Each structure stands twice: as structure tokens, then as C-alpha cells.
């Protein structure tokens, strides 16, 4: 493989390496392997060329991005019950193959937000950071600006994104190698100001994740459908966005991107939650032969951190007078009639028949306690609105 090393060396010398750190390092320091292991950044050899210096970073392959255990286990307990090849057909495009998956832009550069978003897009956290929410799957809604062929609804981007911060600012390589979700939490940089009325309520600071209030919006998919077409001709009447598999089309009963529901995360703190996934399966051929369809395979929610942080929040009522946000929807406020559509659930916003995969739903008694109008609540509430209204003008601009 001497010729290959020469080609790579030539390339190194004729381009401008963005990373000055690699200039002057002998080619063979990285490219010391030959044969099929000639790619020094490949997962196949655990990035042996890179880890000579970047010791321990190969451990990233052992964690979430490399293994995707959570996703695999979900598929195993849901769609794989009907199609053992489901994972390979529908989920394999975001497979970490080596260091260059993220560091390949601009020649060994630190990953840009766009580099992370090559995988962290669509319903997965990352796209939201730049103000992108998935559109409905019907081609009627597949319009407008697109990145890498994927269209999105234009949303308010995260304040950190607007300030020019990349994902790496909070998700260092060291933290990823350790299998940690991030290297920095909100309070590593921010001290909650007591000038903010909500911050003066101790329960808020003790029991809530910062992002329970400061996530301005979150993509939410209610009823994820995978439709299996053993014969592609059967897709004819399904005017839906094509996916990675010729055998499948994906759709949803409903997508929303307003403030997310709340639940309790694994740390016991109140956090945004979202369906991941309320999963349905139809094998079109079977269904056309009077077989089962719209089989509800899972109704699972996850606590998570939408990357849609803003200084502002919803008003007090957004949580304290909003049982639906805790999946305690009163029947009088029900809009979608799932039972009539044979969806196997009474409502997406009712806890019955659903579960949290990394935490728990808020129980009714706790919600009632939280929403009771105690004197303390009333005082804080009035103070909050007074502070706001005192600074609102009577005039307006048409």
C-alpha cells in the first residue's frame, strides 16, 4: 500500500490542512496499517491511526452513537416482531463507521453543527437546535427550504445556535468517549437569576430541569406508522415521502412542534417528554387479504432535552392549568377521537396504555397538588404578570 500512502501524502501537501496540528506529523504515524485496515480512522480497526494520539477516543464506538442499543432494543420489542430485517431496512443509515463521519469536513476539522446534523436530523435531537422541525410526511407538506434533501418547518433556533455555538461546546469529545450525554449542563455556565420571579420559587429550581421551562418547542410525533409494501406497486395511492427502504413507507397520525408535554426523567426531575414511539405497523398485503393492520406495537415516551432553548418560557398557566401537558387530558378538552379511528388508545394525552421508557409520568395526585392555587402560587403568579404588564405599552404598530 506504499502507493496509497504516497497519494495521501501528496493530497496532504497540496491542500491546506485545516488542522495545523496534523502538519508535520509523518504520514506513517497515522497510515501505518496496510490492507483492508488502511483507513486509520475506521471503526474496523478502532481508529488505530487516530488513537495513537487521541487515546481513548475509540471508546465512542462503544457508546450510544456506535452501538445504538436503545434504538435496537426498541425495534426488537416492536417492529422486529413482524419483520426481523426491519432494523437493516429502515434504521441503518446513521451507523458510526469511523472518525471521519464527524471529522471529515475540511480535513480533520472539529465537527460543525451541519456535520452532526447529518445523523441528528428529522425527529432526532440536533435539527431542532438550528430551528428545524419535521414536516408532515404527505408530499403535500414536503415543500420549502431543504438541507441534504430534507425539508423542514422553519422554527425559532436555539439561543446557543444563534450565538454561534457548535454542538461540541456542550458535547466534548471526551464526554462522548466516556459515554456521557454532554460535558456541560446548563448550570455549569448559568446561575439562575433571582430577579426572575419563577426562579424565586424553590420548587422550580429543585424539581425541574432548566429545559422543562426553557425549551420553546419540540417536535412531537403522535402515532408513527411503518407501512410495509412487499410489492412496490402497492405504494401507488400512498403519496408519502420516500424513505431509505423500498419496502417501507413511514407516516404519522399527527405531528406537532409546540411546547412539549412534561413528565419525570430518570433523575426524578420534571422534564420535557415526547412519544418515542407510539408505533403502528401495517403489512399492506396482509391487510388487503383481511389480515390485521394498524397494529399498536408500542406506546412509549421518553424524557429528553429539546435543543430549542430560549430565555423566555410559556406563561404559568402553560403548566399549572394544563393537565393535558402531563398526559392527564380531561375528556371535555379532547380533540382527536382515536378510538373511532381504531388506534387502540383513548388519547395520546392520557397515560393509560402508555409508558415512559426512561422515567415516569406525573401522577394525578401530584399534578393536583402542583396546580392548586395556594397563597404562595397566587402571589407569585400576580407578581409575574405585574412585572410583565408594567412593561407593556398601550400603543401598537399596525
Partner 1 sequence: MLAAGCTPAPPTSTCVACHKGLESASARHSDCVACHGGDPQARDKIQSHASLRGPANPSAPETWEEACGKCHRYQLERVKANIMQTNAGMIRNIQQTWEGADGKEYTTRGGKAFDPTGKAVETVPVAQLDNLSGELYRKFCSRCHIGTTNGDSYAAAHGSGCAACHFPWNETATYEGNDKVMKGKAGHSANHGMTPLPDTQVCSRCHNRSGRIALSYQGLYDGNNGLVPTKSGEAGPTMTSGARNLTHITPDVHFAAGMECIDCHTSREVMGDGYSYRNMYLQTEISCEDCHGGAAELPRYREITRENDEALRESRSYKQPVTSGMRMIQTTKGRNYANVFYKDGVVWLQGKRSGRLHRSKVITGTPEHTVVGHRRLECYSCHSHTSVQCYGCHTKYDKAKAGMDFINGEETSGAFSETEDYRMLYPFPLALNQRGRISPVTPGCQTFVTVAEADGALSKAEYIAKFKGAQQLRFAPFYSHNTGKKALGCVECHGNPAFLGFGQHIVESNSIKGTLICERSDRKPLDGFLTMTNGRVNAYSAITREHARPLSGAEVKRTLSVNLCLPCHDKARDPIYRKGINLRALDDTRHRRLLSDY
| Residues 320 to 379 in contact with partner 1, rule: CB under 8 A | 321, 332-338, 340-343, 373, 375, 377-379
Q: Is 51 in the site for partner 1 (CB under 8 A)?
A: no
Min CB(17)–partner 1 separation in Å: 35
Min CB(33)–partner 1 separation in Å: 49
Q: Provide the grid cell at 388.
A: 410583565
Taking contact as CB under 8 A, which single stretch among the options 15-23, 25-33, 167-175, 290-298 is the one that binds partner 1?
290-298
Cell 464526554 locates to 175
Nearest to partner 1 of 50, 252 (CB atom): 252
Nearest to partner 1 of 200, 207 (CB atom): 200
Nearest to partner 1 of 92, 378 (CB atom): 378
Min CB(314)–partner 1 separation in Å: 6
Min CB(321)–partner 1 separation in Å: 5
User: How do strand 359-360 and strand 355-356 relate by DSSP bridges?
Assistant: unpaired
Q: Which of residues 210-229 bind partner 1 (CB under 8 A)?
A: 216-217, 223, 225, 227
Nearest to partner 1 of 11, 239 (CB atom): 239
CA distances from 178 to 11, 55, 56, 183 (A): 33, 12, 9, 10
Out of 280, 301, 326, 349, the only residue in the binding site for partner 1 (CB under 8 A) is 280
CA distance 207 to 163: 28
Interface characters, 225-254, with partner 1 (x: CB under 8 A): x-x------x--xxxx----------xxxx
Q: Which of residues 5-44 bind partner 1 (CB under 8 A)?
A: none
Do the Cβ atoms of 64 and 70 come closer than 8 Å?
yes
Q: Is 284 in the site for partner 1 (CB under 8 A)?
A: yes
Nearest to partner 1 of 87, 381 (CB atom): 381
- Please list, in sequence order, all residues whose beta carbon lies within 8 angstroms of the beta carbon of residue 107, skipping any fewer than 6 positions away: 15, 17, 18, 19
Do the Cβ atoms of 265 and 107 come closer than 8 Å?
no
- The 10 Å Cβ neighbour count of residue 337 is 10
Q: Provide the grid cell at 199.
A: 426562579
CA distance 33 to 27: 11
Min CB(150)–partner 1 separation in Å: 15
Nearest to partner 1 of 20, 145 (CB atom): 145
Min CB(359)–partner 1 separation in Å: 24
Taking contact as CB under 8 A, which single stretch among the options 68-76, 85-93, 257-265, 360-368 is the one that binds partner 1?
257-265
Min CB(269)–partner 1 separation in Å: 21
CA distance 188 to 32: 41
Nearest to partner 1 of 176, 262 (CB atom): 262
Residue 135's nearest CA partner among 259, 255, 280 is 255
Residue 361's nearest CA partner among 278, 274, 298, 297 is 274
According to DSSP, the residues that pair with 262 across neighbouring strands are 272
Q: Which of residues 292-311 bind partner 1 (CB under 8 A)?
A: 293-294, 308, 310-311
Do the Cβ atoms of 369 and 326 come closer than 8 Å?
no
CA distance 59 to 46: 8
Q: Is 396 in the site for partner 1 (CB under 8 A)?
A: yes
Residue 269 sits at the vertex; the CA angle it makes with 266 and 272, to the nearest 5 degrees, is 85
Length of the chain in terms of residues written: 398
Nearest to partner 1 of 111, 272 (CB atom): 272
Out of 73, 88, 180, 317, the only residue in the binding site for partner 1 (CB under 8 A) is 317
CA distance 49 to 53: 8
Sign of the CA dihedral with 318 first, then 319, 324, and 329 last = negative
Q: Which of residues 119-148 bind partner 1 (CB under 8 A)?
A: 131, 135-138, 140-145
Nearest to partner 1 of 41, 227 (CB atom): 227
Do the Cβ atoms of 240 and 250 come closer than 8 Å?
yes
Min CB(207)–partner 1 separation in Å: 20
Taking contact as CB under 8 A, which single stretch among the options 172-180, 256-264, 298-306, 362-370 is the one that binds partner 1?
256-264
First to last CA, the chain: 71
Taking contact as CB under 8 A, which single stretch among the options 8-16, 184-192, 264-272, 281-289 is the one that binds partner 1?
281-289
Amino acid at each position: 500500500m506504499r502507493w496509497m500512502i504516497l497519494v495521501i501524502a501528496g493530497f496532504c501537501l497540496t491542500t491546506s490542512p485545516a488542522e495545523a496540528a496534523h502538519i508535520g506529523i509523518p504520514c506513517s504515524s497515522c497510515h501505518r496499517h496496510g490492507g483492508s485496515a488502511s483507513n486509520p480512522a475506521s471503526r474496523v480497526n478502532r481508529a488505530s491511526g487516530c488513537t495513537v494520539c487521541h487515546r481513548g477516543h475509540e471508546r465512542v464506538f462503544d457508546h450510544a452513537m456506535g452501538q445504538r442499543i436503545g434504538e435496537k432494543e426498541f425495534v426488537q420489542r416492536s417492529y422486529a416482531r413482524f419483520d426481523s430485517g426491519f432494523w437493516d431496512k429502515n434504521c441503518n443509515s446513521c451507523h458510526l463507521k469511523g472518525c471521519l463521519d464527524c471529522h471529515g469536513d475540511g480535513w480533520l476539522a472539529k465537527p460543525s453543527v451541519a456535520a452532526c446534523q447529518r445523523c441528528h436530523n428529522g425527529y432526532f435531537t440536533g435539527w431542532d437546535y438550528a430551528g428545524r422541525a419535521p414536516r408532515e410526511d404527505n408530499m403535500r407538506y414536503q415543500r420549502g427550504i431543504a438541507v441534504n434533501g430534507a425539508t423542514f418547518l422553519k422554527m425559532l433556533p436555539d439561543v446557543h445556535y444563534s450565538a454561534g455555538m457548535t454542538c461540541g461546546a456542550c458535547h466534548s469529545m471526551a464526554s462522548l468517549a466516556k459515554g456521557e450525554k454532554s460535558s456541560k449542563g446548563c448550570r455549569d455556565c448559568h446561575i439562575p437569576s433571582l430577579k426572575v420571579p419563577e426562579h424565586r420559587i424553590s420548587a422550580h429550581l429543585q424539581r425541574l430541569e432548566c429545559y422543562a421551562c426553557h425549551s420553546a418547542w419540540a417536535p412531537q410525533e403522535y402515532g408513527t406508522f411503518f407501512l410495509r409494501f412487499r410489492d412496490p406497486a402497492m405504494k401507488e395511492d400512498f403519496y408519502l415521502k420516500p424513505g431509505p427502504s423500498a419496502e417501507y413507507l413511514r407516516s404519522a397520525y399527527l405531528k406537532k412542534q409546540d411546547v412539549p408535554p412534561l413528565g419525570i426523567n430518570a433523575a426524578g426531575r420534571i422534564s420535557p417528554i415526547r412519544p418515542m414511539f407510539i408505533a403502528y405497523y401495517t403489512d399492506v398485503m396482509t391487510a388487503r387479504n383481511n389480515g390485521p393492520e394498524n397494529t399498536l406495537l408500542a406506546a412509549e415516551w421518553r424524557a429528553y432535552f429539546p435543543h430549542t432553548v430560549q430565555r423566555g418560557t410559556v406563561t404559568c398557566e402553560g403548566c399549572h392549568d394544563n393537565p393535558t401537558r402531563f398526559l392527564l387530558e380531561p375528556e371535555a378538552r379532547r380533540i382527536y377521537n382515536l378510538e373511532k379511528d381504531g388506534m387502540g388508545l383513548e388519547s395520546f394525552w392520557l397515560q393509560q396504555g402508555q409508558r415512559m421508557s426512561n422515567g415516569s409520568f406525573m401522577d394525578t395526585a401530584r399534578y393536583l397538588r402542583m396546580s392548586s392555587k395556594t397563597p404562595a402560587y397566587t402571589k407569585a403568579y400576580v407578581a409575574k404578570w405585574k412585572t410583565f404588564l408594567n412593561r407593556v405599552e398601550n400603543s401598537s404598530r399596525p
